[in-house]
Chain A
Amino acid sequence: MTIHKYPRKKGRISFFSLLTAVFFLTSCQKQPNLRFGNQYTNDNNGSNVVVVDTSTVLVSTIYSDSTFTDGTGYLMAGTYKDPSLGTVTSRAFFQVAPPAGLPSLSPVNNTYDSIGLVVFFKKNNPWYGDTTSQQNYVVNQVDSSYQLSPPFLIGYSSNNSLPVDPTPLGQTGPIYIHPTALDSFPLTSQGISDTIKIRLDDKLGRQLYNMVYTLSDSINNPTSFQNWFHGLCLSTDGIGSGGTGAIYGFKDSCLMRIYYRTAGVFAQQYIDFNITNRSLAFNSIRTNYANTPLVNIRKPTGAYNQTPPATSSKVTGNAGYIQSITGLNVRLSFPTIKAIALRPDYIGLLRATLTVRPVPDSWSTTWRLAPQIGVYTTDQNNLLGTPVPAAGISGAQTGALNVDYFNPQNAVYAYDVTSFVQAVITNNASNADSLGLILSVPPPNNVADFRRVVIADQSYQVNQRTTLSVYYISLFPHN
């Protein structure tokens, strides 16, 4: 038997301190990096990720007969002939107003010189088509009332137009516009920086000059002026040289300018009639699908509140077409998607990605792809619903296109459509099968940009078609 003295307080404190220290030391450890064990692990015991990218994706083109093209900030004028979408023409309608402070003119010292329309093409303005094609720009005077009265109660649309005097007020050309020219070079072949000047009819110029001189009521009162001078229409006289053409979006800061002279003054003198009522300036767009697959597209019959019709890609060259400004959007339907959730090993959706591939030979440096395509929900009415959100990312998805001209098959629009697929899979409503997605150019480019996409349907080979990849969590039942 051991004889001992019993522990003193100091000894007990030391003992417990040691235990406490050791307890905390247990967490201070490092670990090796081992690549051992995979062959001994039974993968069927745990969950796995399985991807299904063979779901049927039906592609169809939705045609809307109009888009709101007023107040976009751009006067889009020109004509081009797209090998995939046919001929597209845009004419810009706008109004000008006399300045608030008119100069005092005298017949002794002042003389009329000329009148012209000055339009500006800024560096980052939208444009589409062949920039090597020369075009003649034509200005016509609007021949009827230009105000929001029936039938234009809510604004002007792409399918609207106003009657114009068939005799042009003026024209210029043929000229080039070089949208991508270096800053040190003029953007137009007129050589005046970003400016295009179009000489107008002197008859109009003298009339306006005299009205200023006489301080006519029609020029002092804006309403009276617009009742007399309804507006202008800027357009081109055809496709342009080479048969390709282009549409340019001029800034809506254009002006009509009367030049005059003053005795003894060498400086240029003028009176500017600036654009006014910008919200009423609009682009009237016409398409001609002759000799393209879109000739078969179904168009609305004009019935009130009609659902925009969808045309299967089977009758439009196995492709869907997106050019929102001309009313073309693509609808994607997924008739077999619900079957994924019926698989015996399906226990949950992980994510779903939609990969939209343009038809490789449908685009080029001339016929450029839309840089952004949004994805929206839709139903049997083929109308744009809410944007499909991406997990963890705020804001609408636009496809994150990476243009690769050398490897066109690598150009894809990619979307996270997990929330949409989740909603469809778990939706037992009677109209669940009619749920789908619409691909459309997001605002504001949907009414101000002609760049488009021709989307390959599932008749194309796997790496060129539009695919829906559904990643689901797989777990086979265990006892």
Chain B
Amino acid sequence: MIPSLKKRSFLLYLLTAISLGAMAQGNFSPYSQMGIGDLEDGFYNRTTGLANTGIAYRSNRFLINNNPASFSDLANQYFTMETSLRGTFIGYAGSPVDIGATQSADITFRRLAMGIKVSKHWGSSIGLVPYSTQNYEFNVPYAIQGSGTEIANHFYSGHGSVNKAYWANSYEFFHHVSIGAEAGYIFGQLNQRDIIQAGNGATQVSTTNDINLQNIYMTYGMQIYGNAGKHWSWGIGGTFSNKADLLASYNKLVLGADSSTLQNNELQQRYLSLPNSFGVGLSLTHNQHFTWLADYRYQDWNAVQGKNVYPGQDYSIASSERGSFGFEISKKKTLYNNKVELSYFQSGVYYGNSYLQINGQQIKDMGITAGFGVNSLKTPLAYAITFNYGIKGTTKNNLIRQNYFNVNFLINYGSIWFTKGKKFE
């Protein structure tokens, strides 16, 4: 029996609520205090095991939000929903790391997306994905101004996330071209707090800067694909995100030791610019069994550097880039004249420069991935587990290197939509 509309609505509501509640939590990320936090590189979808390589990737079941043009490949009148969560283990190295506590671990929701094939050539998807996250805490001894001997402590912390709710549509032309557009609504709050503590740890005063960010961020995509002979198929993809100004609203709240409000000011609104972003990707598939993929992504932060005023000092924003390769083996079976995928194995490598330049070092991120997925024949669910080992940052110039190991879980739910139980091609 098909799950009723009521039950599906409940499932959507539950997953949305959990995702919004859990996205902001996570491991400490020392670099997230800069800019608007750690920008999210991953898509937490079928391509995660491919080192998130998927600008040219298309799937009839999974939601490939790497490129909004991909949704036109969804199966006709098919509804699908995906959620992802990630477990992360991080080892921190470098002179600023206390050797007594060098590791952290967490589990967080990362994505919730739904897609539907609206018509034969029109695919559509909505979703909620992280755009950036901020999560840091550190202490700084502070010589009280005016006193030569008294030391207090600044406890700095920053928590929050900027998320993207998107609605993407793509349309297929001529069976070989798909064009897509994603309207993303960027929104979120970064909560940065500076607590001055006395020697006994008691709070003396706290300053909380809340930065609320919001705006529309458009992404356009295109995929061209075809077959090369009887055994090979190919794909080329490209994405472009138009630069946009994020409206940043600042609120500064100063509380005294007794939590009395000393100041609560809404400061002047500013705009923080998100840059033009480009991405190109290639895919090559042999016998619908082996697939090779390559992506290159570039964000032109240099062009918007002058407009952005971020909290903090002594670091700069630089254009970021990322290259990745992926390889996939898909195991399929023919059922009722259809090839049905039973499972798949993926691997990938990636290398990139982040948008942060600190102490003359642009923060690099590199790693390898491997994944395995199973599509259930008895239930409408598909599962994937992906492993990712990576290195971010460096120990040079008094910086921190993070060696991280991610385990990603992807759960996909698919069902015929609007058919009252009838199944058809």
A34 to B104, CA, bound (A): 11
Asked whether, in the complex, the Cβ of A29 is within 8 Å of the Cβ of B106, the reply is: yes
| Residue in chain B with minimal CB distance to A21 | B107
- The answer to whether the Cβ of B287 comes within 8 Å of any Cβ in the partner chain is no
Q: How far is the CA of A331 from the CA of B18 in the complex (A)?
A: 64
Which one of A2, A3, A11, A475 contacts B61 once the chains associate, using CB atoms below 8 Å? A2
Closest to B315 in A: A40
Q: How distant is the Cα of A37 from the Cα of B196 in the complex, in angstroms?
A: 16
- Contact bitstring B323-363, A, C-beta under 8 A = 1, else 0: 00000000000011010110000000000000000100000
Partner of B100, one of A23, A33, A53: A33
The residue in chain B whose Cβ has the minimal distance to the Cβ of A11 is: B379
Q: Give which listed residue, B26, B103, B204, B414, contacts A32 with CB less than 8 A.
A: B103
The one of B26, B97, B108, B146 in contact with A33, judged by C-beta atoms closer than 8 angstroms, is: B97
Q: Is the CB of A475 within 8 A of B207?
A: yes
User: Is B262 a contact partner of A473 (Cβ separation < 8 A)?
Assistant: yes
A2 contacts B375, CB within 8 Å?
yes
A199, chain B: closest CB distance, angstroms:
61
Interface pairs A-B: 7 shortest CB-CB: A46-B194, A33-B98, A36-B96, A46-B207, A29-B106, A38-B140, A33-B101
Known: A33-B98, A40-B358, A53-B147. A4 touches B207 (CB 8 A): no
Of B27-35, B121-129, B288-296, the segment with at least 4 beta carbons within 8 Å of chain A is: B27-35
Q: A5-B378, A350-B257 are in contact. Are A41 and B204 (CB under 8 A)?
A: no
For chain A residues 151-182, which have a beta carbon within 8 Å of chain B? none
| A–B complex contacts, Cβ < 8 Å, 17 sampled | A2-B414, A7-B381, A25-B107, A26-B22, A26-B25, A30-B105, A32-B92, A36-B94, A40-B314, A42-B311, A47-B254, A47-B262, A49-B204, A347-B254, A350-B257, A473-B262, A475-B263
Determine the chain B residues whose CB is within 8 A of the CB of A42 once the complex forms.
311-313
Q: Is A58 an interface residue (CB 8 A)?
A: no
A40 contacts B262, CB within 8 Å? no
The answer to whether A304 has its CB under 8 Å from any CB of chain B is no
B263 near A4: Cβ-Cβ < 8 Å: no
Task: State whether the Cβ of A6 lies closer than 8 Å to any Cβ in chain B.
Answer: yes
User: Is the C-beta of B114 less than 8 angstroms from some C-beta in chain A?
Assistant: no
Chain A residues with Cβ below 8 Å from B256 are: 348, 350, 473
Stretch at the interface among B40-48, B131-139, B166-174, B274-282: B131-139
Determine the interface band of chain A, counting residues with CB < 8 A from chain B.
35 or more
Assess whether B218 is interfacial by the CB under 8 Å rule.
no
A36 touches B101 (CB 8 A): no
Contact present for A27 and B25 (CB under 8 Å): yes
Contact A49-B152, Cβ < 8 Å, known A31-B27, A37-B138: yes
Closest A residue by C-beta to B150: A51
B30 touches A31 (CB 8 A): no
Q: Which residues of B contact A45 (CB under 8 A)?
A: 194, 207, 209, 311
B window 239-297: CB within 8 A of A: 252, 254, 256-257, 260, 262-263, 265, 267-268
Contacts of B138 in A (CB 8 A): 34-38
Q: By the criterion CB–CB under 8 Å, are A40 and B312 in contact? A: yes
Q: How many residues of B contact A (CB 8 A)?
A: 93
Q: Report if B228 contacts A (CB, 8 A).
A: no
Would you call B423 an interface residue if the criterion is a C-beta within 8 Å of the partner chain's C-beta atoms? yes
Measured CA separation A29–B159 after assembly (Å): 15
A40, B33: Cβ atoms under 8 Å? Answer: yes
Q: Which of A1, A46, A475 contacts B425 (CB 8 A)?
A: A1
Q: Is A236 in contact with chain B by the CB < 8 A criterion?
A: no
A106 at the interface (CB under 8 A from B): no
Q: How far does the Cβ of A423 sit from chain B's closest Cβ, in whole Å?
A: 16
A34 vs B145: C-alpha distance when bound (angstroms): 25
Name B78-124 residues within 8 Å CB distance of A.
78, 83, 85, 90, 92, 94, 96-98, 100-109
- In the bound complex, residues from chain B placing their C-beta under 8 Å from that of A51 are 144-147, 150
Tell me, rounded to whole Å, the shortest Cβ–Cβ distance linking A416 to chain B.
Answer: 12
Q: Which of B105, B205, B254, B265 has the most CB of A within 10 A?
A: B205
Residue of A nearest to B152 (CB): A49
B12 an interface residue at 8 Å Cβ cutoff? no
Residues of A within 8 A of B423 (CB): 1, 3
Q: Which residues of B contact A47 (CB under 8 A)?
A: 194, 196, 205-207, 254, 262-263
Please name 12 further chain A to chain B contacts, defined as beta carbons within 8 Å, in addition to the given A1-B78, A473-B256, sorted by A numbering. Answer: A2-B375, A4-B380, A26-B25, A26-B106, A34-B136, A39-B313, A40-B313, A41-B312, A42-B312, A47-B262, A473-B254, A473-B262
Q: Does A315 contact B (CB under 8 A)?
A: no
Contact yes or no, B377 A4, CB < 8 A: yes
CA distance A45 to B104 in the complex (A): 29
Enumerate chain A residues within 8 angstroms of B262, measured Cβ to Cβ. Answer: 47, 347-348, 473, 475
Assess A4 versus B378: contact at CB under 8 Å? Given A42-B312, A47-B254. yes
Q: Do residues A31 and B28 form an inter-chain contact, with CB atoms below 8 A?
A: yes
A1 CA to B196 CA in the complex, in Å?
60
CB distance from B337 to the nearest CB of A (A): 10
Give the Cβ gap from B89 to chain A, nearest Cβ, in Å.
10
In the bound assembly, the distance between CA atoms of A475 and B256 in angstroms comes to: 12
Q: Is the CB of B312 within 8 A of A46?
A: no
Q: In the complex, which residues of chain B have a beta carbon less than 8 angstroms from the beta carbon of A36?
A: 30, 94, 96-97, 138, 400
A167 to B117, CA, bound (A): 124
With a 10 A CB-CB cut-off, give which of A2, A32, A35 has the most chain B CB atoms. A32
- A339 in contact (CB, < 8 A): no
- The minimal Cβ–Cβ distance linking A476 to chain B, given in whole angstroms, is 11
Q: Which residues of A contact B311 (CB under 8 A)?
A: 42, 45
Q: What's the least CB distance linking A351 to chain B, in Å?
A: 8
**How far apart are B204's CB and chain A's nearest CB, in angstroms?**
6
A22 — nearest CB in chain B belongs to which residue? B85
Assess whether A41 is in contact with B378, with CB atoms less than 8 Å apart. Answer: no
C-alpha spacing A290/B310, complex, angstroms? 71
How far, in angstroms, from A43 to B144 measured CA to CA in the complex? 12
Nearest residue (CB) in B for A29 is: B106
Query: Which residues of the partner chain B approach A124 to less than 8 Å between Cβ atoms?
Result: none
Contact B96 A34 (CB under 8 A): yes
| B410-425 to A contact mask, C-beta < 8 Å, 1/0 | 0100110000000101
Neighbour of A6 across the interface among B1, B85, B107, B263, CB < 8 A? B1
Of the residues B60, B96, B338, contact of A3 by C-beta under 8 Å: B338
CB distance B400 to A34 under 8 Å?
yes
CB-contact partner of B33 in A5, A37, A49, under 8 A? A37
Chain B contacts for A37, CB-based, 8 A: 30, 33, 136, 138, 140, 156
A:1-18 near B, CB below 8 Å: 1-8, 11-12, 15-16
Shortest Cβ distance from B17 into chain A, in angstroms? 10
Q: Is A282 an interface residue (CB 8 A)?
A: no
Per the bound structure, the CA–CA distance linking A475 and B140 in Å amounts to 18
B236 located at the interface, meaning its Cβ lies under 8 Å from any Cβ of chain A in the complex: no
Whether A50 is near chain B, meaning CB under 8 Å from some CB there, is yes
Instruction: From known contacts A6-B2, A26-B109, A33-B100, infer whether A1 and B338 are also in contact, taking CB-CB under 8 Å.
Output: yes
- State whether the Cβ of B3 lies closer than 8 Å to any Cβ in chain A: yes
The answer to the question of B15 belonging to the interface, with a C-beta cut-off of 8 Å to chain A, is yes
Q: Does A19 contact B (CB under 8 A)?
A: yes
Within A440-479, the residues touching B (CB, 8 Å) are 469, 471, 473-475, 478-479
Residues of A within 8 A of B28 (CB): 31-32, 34
**Are the C-beta atoms of B267 and A478 separated by less than 8 Å?**
yes
**Interface status of A148 (Cβ within 8 A of chain B):** no
What residues of chain A lie closer than 8 Å to B154, measured between beta carbons? Answer: 38, 41, 43, 46
